Structure 1
Amino acid sequence: MITKPFSTSADQALTIRSLSMSYGEAPVLDGINVNLAAGEVLGLLGPSGCGKTTLLRLISGLLLPNEGQIEIAGNLVADRSKGIALPPEQRGLGMVFQDYALWPHLSVAKNVAFPLEMQKRPAADCKRRVGEALERVGLGAMAQRRPSDLSGGQQQRVAIARAIVAEPPLVLFDEPLSNLDRELRESMIDELGDLVADLNLSAVYVTHDHGEALTLSDQVAVMQGGRIEQLASPDELIHTPATAAVADFLRLGCLLPAHRAPSGWCIQDTQIALSGNDVSSGIEAGLAQVLLPEHALRLDGSGTEKLKADVVRVQTRSTGRALTLKVCGTDHLIRLLSPERANPGDRLELSFSPHDLRWFPVAA
């Protein structure tokens, strides 16, 4: 393989074309395509084993693809057919790891300076850049402290300062909040989002957490089985999921099997009618899956379509009551958040509008 010098100047922070990767005969990634504009964040979201970590390693240069190309800031960094494979240190990337990977025996400033020292930058240049990076993340006064003297949030800021100190065109985040407890993780999502926005970072953010991906990303790639099921903005993912698999993974609502009866569409094995006016023309068979989005279900009767369900379980949340309901006459469960009190055994009438439903073909 050959390498070439790295330069940074492009409107696209990351471009991936027809990327595929296999371990022996086992495919891990298949036909990945991504275009990430400079200053945007791409979230790689999916369950364990979906390929998101492998994709991150390919971007970083820790693995080489079997097929396809990777460009970072307009520079071709990987293309097996052309014999191009830049190693990680020549790709100009910043990295933020799960455990921050800070050296406990070094000061904050020394931790941040490490990438510059590896590049053999002059001492004066290192000192200036380290000071600027720490000021940008709000830690200018803590340069001489040790990581053990800092809170978890401050340690994360040190890791980000180290990732940006060399002004990389792209920063890779490898599940940086996964080791935190839920309360701290939720508080740090907003803090990290503000920091990424303030720094105008171009970034790839790997996570299995829906909230992180939707909060931090301009685009989210929902991955499953080595492929991207859907690549879209958070708003588009929530309101127009491309497949039933995306809707199910994001827990957007209740997916119901439906069949076409002489009188119209009904929930499978029932006579409960579902308006089929917005059924995709691509659903030609007599079976379908229909998504009742949680955000579209109402208890105030304002929707035009009605559905009765029995309360199975009630959980108290700070934002209301999480209800688990069973559609009357079926075993299908619906979950929604309600501001009103309800008790197990209560029968409620849900309403919704037909245009809120999302229809999907049944997989062959």
Structure 2
Amino acid sequence: MISAHPLALSLRGLRMAYGDQVVLDGIDLDLPKGQVLALLGASGSGKTTLLRLVAGLLMPTAGTVEIAGQTVAAPERGVVLPPEKRGLGMVFQDYALWPHLSVARNVAFPLEMQRLPAAERAARVTQALARVGLGDLADRRPSELSGGQQQRVAIARAIVGAPPLVLFDEPLSNLDRELREGMVEDLAALVANLELSAVYVTHDHAEALALADRIAVIHRGGIAQLASPAELIDRPASAAVAEFLRLGTLLPARCSDGEWVIKGTDIALGPGPDAAAAQVLLPERSLAPGTHGPAQLRAEVRSMQVRNTGFALSLTIAGTDLPVRLLSAHPARPGEMLALSYSPDALRWFPQAG
């Protein structure tokens, strides 16, 4: 049964090390029931290790893992519950469906392992398939289904036992970009309708932003920022987060006679922090072609790509090699100089690198 505990997951002081190699350190987070947490990070950041610690596939060096109020890992106290005792649902990269079994038998497998009576298994399987919209496909084989339908079978299997938490291990990573983008929307709608408590591991920014209530950006074994998607985009906590999310251009800046300019130029940036030098994020979404904004700069077009939403321009700020990106409604030729506008209020300031 699903626990009434308000937190689906709680991690405190979680640490994972292999000898002298520290993979994760100081992980603290809470996931309220009914919300989705995305673990977003580059390859090797520690996000997959964190998921495995929650699942019980790895045991932490220190700290505690609580699922729906139950402590499932606390090495200092000798608490170590194996995966099968944690009652979790899991959705894997390749869905892990058995091709020789029907949809219903695939979904029923976790209940068979629990040795539930046949009548109860059948009722739960029927309910789970109905919840994911596959009630009329129970007798099909996985090979007869589309990719999106196979994903729904994997989710039905994950929720059939009414787990307090579902773990998604990069379920869309094996798909090509176009198919993945379409399935993200379907998956986000399904997860929201099911009101799942879930941890979703991904390296794809769009997936995390579309699916999650909160996102933990994992960087060098720690949480660089834990925030809602909107807050993450509007107020990145550091230059590293802004750079990883590709939010725009990080510019080196200096203060001269009380005026902030792009380092190596006389391009004014407006008011900045109380420092002699800093980094400043010029968000891509704050840029617009033309001179109608409160602040302007000039940039040279380097290349252009045609997108279904417009023209993706790669430019460099005039007199520098600093790159900027712009999605424009109009094409532009390489070598063309464009005037760009932005609001100084959109700039985000960070300490100088190093």
Number of the residue aligned with 1:3: none
Does residue 232 of the first structure (1) align with residue 227 of the second (2)? yes
* Alpha-carbon distance between aligned partners in 1 of 2:306 and 2:40, rounded to the nearest angstrom: 28
Identical amino acids, percent of aligned pairs: 62
**Segment of structure 1 superposing worse, 34-43 or 260-269:** 260-269
Query: Secondary structure of the equivalent of 1:274?
Result: coil
Contact 1:164 1:171 in 2 (8 A): yes
Deviation at residue 301 of structure 1 after TM alignment:
2.4
Matched ranges for 1:13-52 at <5 A: 13-52=8-47
Deviation at residue 64 of structure 1 after TM alignment:
0.8
2:291 maps to which of 295, 301, 320: 301
* Alpha-carbon distance between aligned partners in 1 of 2:152 and 2:144, rounded to the nearest angstrom: 13
Deviations along 1:44-91, whole A, 9 cap, x unmatched? 001000000000000000111111111111111111111111110111
Number of the residue aligned with 2:280: 290
Question: Are the structure 2 counterparts of residues 74 and 36 from structure 1 closer, same or farther at C-alpha, using a change threshold of 3 Å?
Answer: same
* Alpha-carbon distance between aligned partners in 2 of 1:183 and 1:26, rounded to the nearest angstrom: 38
Number of the residue aligned with 1:328: 318
1:256 maps to which of 236, 251, 259: 251
Does residue 217 of the first structure (1) align with residue 212 of the second (2)? yes
Query: Secondary structure of the equivalent of 1:178?
Result: coil
Number of the residue aligned with 2:173: 178
Contact 2:27 2:223 in 1 (8 A): yes
Which amino acid is 2:332 matched to? Answer: A
Deviation at residue 263 of structure 1 after TM alignment:
4.6
Matched ranges for 1:340-351 at <5 A: 340-351=330-341
Deviation at residue 273 of structure 1 after TM alignment:
1.3
Number of the residue aligned with 1:206: 201
Deviations along 1:88-145, whole A, 9 cap, x unmatched? 0111100000000001111111100011111111110000000000011111111111
Unaligned runs of 5+ in 1: 1-5
Does residue 187 of the first structure (1) align with residue 182 of the second (2)? yes
Query: How does the TM-score come out when normalised to structure 1?
Result: 0.95
* Alpha-carbon distance between aligned partners in 2 of 1:362 and 1:71, rounded to the nearest angstrom: 38
Number of the residue aligned with 1:106: 101
Does residue 81 of the first structure (1) align with residue 76 of the second (2)? yes
Unaligned runs of 5+ in 2: none
Number of the residue aligned with 2:160: 165
Number of the residue aligned with 1:319: 309
Deviations along 1:210-264, whole A, 9 cap, x unmatched? 0000000000011111011100000001111000001000000111111111251
1:355 maps to which of 341, 345, 353: 345
Deviations along 1:319-345, whole A, 9 cap, x unmatched? 000011110110001001011221111
Contact 1:32 1:228 in 2 (8 A): yes
* Alpha-carbon distance between aligned partners in 2 of 1:363 and 1:8, rounded to the nearest angstrom: 46
**Segment of structure 1 superposing worse, 205-214 or 265-274:** 265-274
Deviation at residue 151 of structure 1 after TM alignment:
0.8
Number of the residue aligned with 2:48: 53
Number of the residue aligned with 2:114: 119
* Alpha-carbon distance between aligned partners in 2 of 1:173 and 1:297, rounded to the nearest angstrom: 35
* Alpha-carbon distance between aligned partners in 1 of 2:154 and 2:206, rounded to the nearest angstrom: 22
Number of the residue aligned with 1:139: 134
Number of the residue aligned with 1:152: 147
Deviations along 1:274-296, whole A, 9 cap, x unmatched? 112xx345xx3x22110000111
* Alpha-carbon distance between aligned partners in 1 of 2:161 and 2:342, rounded to the nearest angstrom: 52
Instruction: Give the number of aligned pairs.
Output: 354
Deviation at residue 7 of structure 1 after TM alignment:
7.7
Number of the residue aligned with 2:85: 90
Contact 1:7 1:75 in 2 (8 A): no
Query: Secondary structure of the equivalent of 1:322?
Result: strand
Query: How does the TM-score come out when normalised to structure 2?
Result: 0.98
* Alpha-carbon distance between aligned partners in 2 of 1:325 and 1:185, rounded to the nearest angstrom: 28
Contact 1:9 1:74 in 2 (8 A): no
Which amino acid is 2:315 matched to? Answer: L
Deviation at residue 181 of structure 1 after TM alignment:
1.1
Deviation at residue 302 of structure 1 after TM alignment:
2.9
* Alpha-carbon distance between aligned partners in 2 of 1:181 and 1:350, rounded to the nearest angstrom: 34
* Alpha-carbon distance between aligned partners in 2 of 1:331 and 1:300, rounded to the nearest angstrom: 21
Query: Secondary structure of the equivalent of 1:192?
Result: helix
Query: Secondary structure of the equivalent of 1:53?
Result: helix
